[in-house]
Amino acid sequence: MIIYEVNLKIQQKIYEDYILWLQNHIQDMLSLNLFHDFKLFKIDSLSKNIKNVTIHYYLENIDLLNIYYEKHATKMRNSVDKKFISKVTSERRVLHEN
Protein backbone atom coordinates (compact mmCIF):
# COMPACT_ATOMS: atom_id res chain seq x y z
CA MET A 1 0.00 0.00 0.00
CA ILE A 2 1.06 3.59 -0.75
CA ILE A 3 -0.07 6.73 1.04
CA TYR A 4 0.09 9.99 -0.87
CA GLU A 5 0.16 12.60 1.87
CA VAL A 6 -0.72 16.25 1.40
CA ASN A 7 0.03 18.67 4.26
CA LEU A 8 -1.73 22.03 4.15
CA LYS A 9 -1.23 25.24 6.10
CA ILE A 10 -4.36 27.36 5.74
CA GLN A 11 -4.84 30.93 6.88
CA GLN A 12 -7.51 31.08 9.56
CA LYS A 13 -9.58 33.73 7.76
CA ILE A 14 -10.32 31.42 4.79
CA TYR A 15 -10.27 28.09 6.61
CA GLU A 16 -14.02 27.32 6.51
CA ASP A 17 -14.32 28.23 2.82
CA TYR A 18 -11.21 26.27 1.96
CA ILE A 19 -12.41 23.14 3.76
CA LEU A 20 -15.64 23.27 1.75
CA TRP A 21 -13.61 23.54 -1.45
CA LEU A 22 -11.26 20.77 -0.24
CA GLN A 23 -14.10 18.32 0.33
CA ASN A 24 -15.06 18.65 -3.35
CA HIS A 25 -11.44 18.39 -4.40
CA ILE A 26 -11.04 15.15 -2.46
CA GLN A 27 -14.05 13.71 -4.28
CA ASP A 28 -12.47 14.76 -7.58
CA MET A 29 -9.30 12.94 -6.58
CA LEU A 30 -11.24 9.79 -5.73
CA SER A 31 -13.12 9.97 -9.02
CA LEU A 32 -9.82 9.39 -10.85
CA ASN A 33 -10.16 5.74 -9.78
CA LEU A 34 -6.54 5.59 -8.69
CA PHE A 35 -7.02 6.23 -4.98
CA HIS A 36 -9.27 3.80 -3.12
CA ASP A 37 -9.77 5.83 0.07
CA PHE A 38 -8.66 8.89 2.01
CA LYS A 39 -8.49 10.28 5.53
CA LEU A 40 -8.55 13.94 6.46
CA PHE A 41 -6.78 14.96 9.67
CA LYS A 42 -6.92 18.25 11.54
CA ILE A 43 -3.63 18.99 13.26
CA ASP A 44 -3.36 20.93 16.49
CA SER A 45 -1.46 24.15 15.99
CA LEU A 46 0.02 26.73 18.30
CA SER A 47 -0.78 29.47 15.80
CA LYS A 48 -4.16 31.18 15.90
CA ASN A 49 -3.64 32.46 12.36
CA ILE A 50 -2.84 29.15 10.67
CA LYS A 51 -4.80 25.90 10.59
CA ASN A 52 -3.08 22.68 9.55
CA VAL A 53 -4.64 19.67 7.89
CA THR A 54 -3.23 16.50 6.39
CA ILE A 55 -4.88 14.31 3.80
CA HIS A 56 -3.87 10.70 3.24
CA TYR A 57 -4.87 9.27 -0.12
CA TYR A 58 -4.51 5.48 -0.30
CA LEU A 59 -3.30 3.59 -3.37
CA GLU A 60 -2.66 -0.09 -3.95
CA ASN A 61 0.76 0.40 -5.52
CA ILE A 62 3.36 2.85 -6.79
CA ASP A 63 2.31 2.32 -10.41
CA LEU A 64 -1.03 3.98 -9.67
CA LEU A 65 0.74 6.94 -8.08
CA ASN A 66 2.95 7.28 -11.15
CA ILE A 67 -0.17 7.36 -13.34
CA TYR A 68 -1.51 10.15 -11.13
CA TYR A 69 1.75 12.11 -11.49
CA GLU A 70 1.91 11.64 -15.26
CA LYS A 71 -1.72 12.25 -16.18
CA HIS A 72 -3.48 14.16 -13.41
CA ALA A 73 -1.24 15.88 -10.85
CA THR A 74 -0.72 19.16 -12.68
CA LYS A 75 -4.41 19.59 -13.42
CA MET A 76 -5.45 18.72 -9.87
CA ARG A 77 -2.88 21.03 -8.30
CA ASN A 78 -3.92 23.86 -10.61
CA SER A 79 -7.61 23.41 -9.84
CA VAL A 80 -7.38 25.30 -6.56
CA ASP A 81 -9.69 28.30 -6.47
CA LYS A 82 -7.67 31.46 -7.17
CA LYS A 83 -8.94 33.14 -4.00
CA PHE A 84 -6.94 30.59 -1.97
CA ILE A 85 -3.64 30.72 -3.89
CA SER A 86 -1.63 32.95 -1.54
CA LYS A 87 -3.44 31.81 1.61
CA VAL A 88 -2.61 28.10 1.56
CA THR A 89 0.72 26.33 1.34
CA SER A 90 1.15 22.64 0.67
CA GLU A 91 3.79 19.95 1.01
CA ARG A 92 3.53 16.41 -0.24
CA ARG A 93 5.24 13.16 0.56
CA VAL A 94 4.82 9.50 -0.24
CA LEU A 95 4.69 6.80 2.42
CA HIS A 96 5.51 3.20 1.50
CA GLU A 97 4.35 0.31 3.59
CA ASN A 98 7.08 -2.19 4.47
- Ordered structural domains, the chain, with CATH: 2-96 (3.30.70.100)
Supply the pLDDT for residue 53.
97
In whole angstroms, give the CA distance from residue 42 to residue 40. 7
If residue 69 lies in a helix (H) or strand (E), which one and from where to where?
A: helix 62-71
Confidence of residue 83 (pLDDT cuts 50, 70, 90): confident
Confidence of residue 6 (pLDDT cuts 50, 70, 90): very high
Half-sphere exposure of 11 (CA within 13 A, CB side): 8
Judge contact between 65 and 3, C-beta under 8 A. no
pTM over 0.75: yes
In whole angstroms, give the CA distance from residue 16 to residue 74. 25
What is the distance of C-alpha 4 from the center of its chain? 8
In whole angstroms, give the CA distance from residue 21 to residue 41. 16
Supply the pLDDT for residue 46.
85
Above 80 in pLDDT, residue 98?
no
